[in-house]
A and B are shown apart, each in its own frame.
Chain A
Amino acid sequence: MIRVADGIPTAVVAAEQLLDRVGELRADGYDLLVDLFAYDTPEREPRFDVVYLFHRLADNARTRLKVQVGEEVAVPSITRLYPPAEWYEREVYDMYGVTFADHPDLRRILMPDDWIGHPLRRDHPLGGEVVDYGLRPPAERVAPIDFPEGTTR
Chain B
Amino acid sequence: MTVLRDSEPTLPPHETMLLNMGPQHPSTHGVLRLMLDLDGEVVVDAHPDIGFLHTGIEKSCEYRTYHQAITLTDRIDYLSPYSNNLAYVNAVEKLFGISAPPRASWLRVLIAELHRIASHLVFVGTTSLDLAASSVFIYCFREREELLRLMELLSGVRMMTSFIRIGGLPADVPPGFLEGVATFIDRFPARLAEYDDLIRENPIFKQRMVGIGKISAHDATRWSLTGPNLRASGVAYDVRRALPYEVYGELEFDVITETAGDAYARYLVRRRELEESAKICRQIVARLPSGPIRIDDPHIAYPKRELIHSSMESLIHHYKLATEGPIPPPGEAYAAVESPRGEYGVHVVSNGTNLPQRVRFRAPSFANLQALPLLVRGHMVADCIAALASIDFVLGEIDR
Residues on A facing B (Cβ under 8 Å): 2-6, 8, 31-35, 37, 39-41, 51, 53, 57, 60, 62, 64, 82-84, 86-88, 107-114, 119-120, 122, 124, 126
Q: Cα distance A146–B97 when bound, in Å?
A: 42
**Which residues of B have CB within 8 Å of A32?**
221, 224, 226, 237
- Closest approach, in angstroms, between the C-beta of B2 and any C-beta of chain A? 6
**Which residues of B have CB within 8 Å of A112?**
1, 3, 51
**Which residues of B have CB within 8 Å of A51?**
347
Contact of B343 among A34, A40, A64, A84 (CB under 8 A): A34
- Judge whether A83 and B223 touch: CB under 8 Å: yes
With A2-B349, A113-B4: A37-B333 Cβ-Cβ less than 8 Å: no
- Judge whether B332 and A3 touch: CB under 8 Å: yes
With A31-B221, A35-B345, A113-B4: A3-B51 Cβ-Cβ less than 8 Å: no
Q: Which of B55-63, B111-119, B147-155, B289-297 is near enough to bind chain A? A: B55-63
- Judge whether A120 and B59 touch: CB under 8 Å: yes
- Judge whether A3 and B331 touch: CB under 8 Å: yes
Q: Cα distance A123–B267 when bound, in Å?
A: 45
> Is chain A's binding surface mostly helix, strand, loop or mixed?
loop
Contact of A5 among B62, B95, B367, B371 (CB under 8 A): B95
**Which residues of A have CB within 8 Å of B358?**
39-40
Across the interface, name the chain A residue whose C-beta is closest to B47: A105
> Is chain B's binding surface mostly helix, strand, loop or mixed?
mixed
- Closest approach, in angstroms, between the C-beta of B93 and any C-beta of chain A? 10
Q: Cα distance A13–B351 when bound, in Å?
A: 22
- Judge whether A60 and B243 touch: CB under 8 Å: yes
- Judge whether A41 and B357 touch: CB under 8 Å: yes
- Judge whether A3 and B54 touch: CB under 8 Å: no
- Is B14 in contact with chain A by the CB < 8 A criterion? no
Across the interface, name the chain A residue whose C-beta is closest to B226: A32
The 7 residue pairs across chains A and B that have the minimum distance between CB atoms: A3-B331, A39-B358, A110-B51, A5-B333, A6-B333, A60-B242, A35-B362
Q: Cα distance A5–B56 when bound, in Å?
A: 26
- Judge whether B360 and A37 touch: CB under 8 Å: yes
Since A5-B333, A34-B336 are in contact, a sample of 13 more A-B pairs with Cβ atoms closer than 8 Å, ordered by chain A residue number, is A2-B332, A3-B331, A5-B331, A6-B94, A34-B345, A53-B345, A84-B223, A88-B366, A112-B51, A113-B1, A120-B59, A126-B60, A126-B63
Q: Number of contact residues on B: which range applies? A: 35 or more
**Contact residues of B between 3 and 19, Cβ < 8 Å to A:** 3-4, 7
- Is B77 in contact with chain A by the CB < 8 A criterion? no
**Which residues of A have CB within 8 Å of B268?**
none
- Judge whether B221 and A57 touch: CB under 8 Å: yes
**Which residues of A have CB within 8 Å of B399?**
110
- Closest approach, in angstroms, between the C-beta of B241 and any C-beta of chain A? 9
A-B contact pairs, 14 of them (CB 8 A): A2-B331, A3-B329, A6-B334, A31-B224, A32-B237, A34-B343, A37-B362, A57-B221, A62-B243, A87-B367, A110-B1, A113-B3, A113-B4, A120-B59
- Judge whether A5 and B51 touch: CB under 8 Å: no
Q: Cα distance A40–B237 when bound, in Å?
A: 32
Interface centre among B4, B58, B59, B237 (most CB of A within 10 A): B59
Interface centre among B58, B242, B357, B358 (most CB of A within 10 A): B358
- Is B330 in contact with chain A by the CB < 8 A criterion? yes
**Which residues of B have CB within 8 Å of A8?**
334
With A2-B332, A35-B362: A109-B58 Cβ-Cβ less than 8 Å: no
- Closest approach, in angstroms, between the C-beta of B103 and any C-beta of chain A? 24
- Closest approach, in angstroms, between the C-beta of A90 and any C-beta of chain B? 10
